[in-house]
Amino acid sequence: MHERTLAYSPCPNDTYIFAALTNGMLPDAPRVRVALGDIEELNTAAAAARHELTKVSYGAIPYLMRDYRILRAGGALGRGCGPLVVTRPGVADALDGLRGKRFAIPGERTTAFMLLQLALGGRPDAVQMRFDRIIPAVAAGEVDAGLIIHESRFTYQADGLHAVTDLGDWWERASGMPIPLGAILVRGDVGDEDARRINEAIRASLAFARSDEAAIMPYVREHAFEMSDDVMRKHIELYVNEYSDDVRDDGIAAVRELFGRAHAAGILDRDAAPRVLR
């Protein structure tokens, strides 16, 4: 198998999962060339089918199924790990109090923005910015509220903000299902046999990380910029779980439910079904 491009974010959950694979720690594993990017940058690149293997938001996947299918390993699903809506004290105490207000969001096709629109019952006034710019923008009064993801859920209180809504909790109460956040996609020009080898290599990379963290944590720390070890560890513990090994049947059911609700609400202009590698 020739070298494949693998794109993922510098967030600790991704670097933890892929460290062994991308740093030559797995004998006989497929060779990959890494491209790092913010999640919305990855969503945009996937829309142009730029990478053979890429992490994307589930919110973007309905637009990508012509060119990609979902690998079973390496993704981000779970419970208690959803995006938060935060604001300054005195602005609002509940999500309904933010209707008509301006939100900073991490991307138009992130799962977080899809969930926000479902919870609000419509599209808010929103400005897109990189996820790590959202908390400073809310704190400075540039926007009324922020939709935060990644490690921001562990740090927003230090900037004097408070959480109005946990959209993961909202989703779990509404659906009874885990929340689908992100997936690893494989492009259509990669054959099924090679895609399965890559899928197994991702599982092996995660197993290596769990068994020998001392070997992979320098790579994780290298990319966890401006993040304490405590926040980095919390990030990994929250987002790396049993669904990282396999999306599982209940995970796929949750994805179908998310897409169905988004289509019924007019957020998606098309029916969408996840194409998962068998």
Q: Residue 51: inside a domain, yes or no?
A: yes
pTM over 0.75: yes
CA distance 271 to 234: 36
What does the DSSP assignment read for 143-202?
Answer: SSEEEE-GGGGGTGGGGT-EEEEEHHHHHHHHHSSPEEEEEEEEETTS-HHHHHHHHHHH
Note the pLDDT tens digit of each residue in 109-139.
999 999 999 999 999 999 999 988 999 999 9
**pLDDT score at 227:** 81
Q: What percent of the chain has pLDDT over 70?
A: 100
Query: What phi and psi values does residue 78 have, to the nearest 5 degrees?
Result: 155, -165
Catalytic residue among 150, 162, 223, 235: 150
Question: With 70 as the cut, is the pLDDT of residue 165 above it?
Answer: yes
Return the CATH number at 9. 3.40.190.10
Q: Residue 277: inside a domain, yes or no?
A: no
Is 223 noted as a catalytic residue in this protein? no
Number of structural domains found in the chain = 2
Note the pLDDT tens digit of each residue in 62-78.
999 999 999 999 999 99
Q: Are residues 92 and 143 in the same domain?
A: yes
CA distance 231 to 15: 15
CA distance 200 to 215: 20
Question: With 70 as the cut, is the pLDDT of residue 260 above it?
Answer: yes
Note the pLDDT tens digit of each residue in 82-114.
999 999 999 999 999 999 999 999 999 999 999
Range of the domain at 238: 4-78+178-264
Length, in residues, of the chain: 278
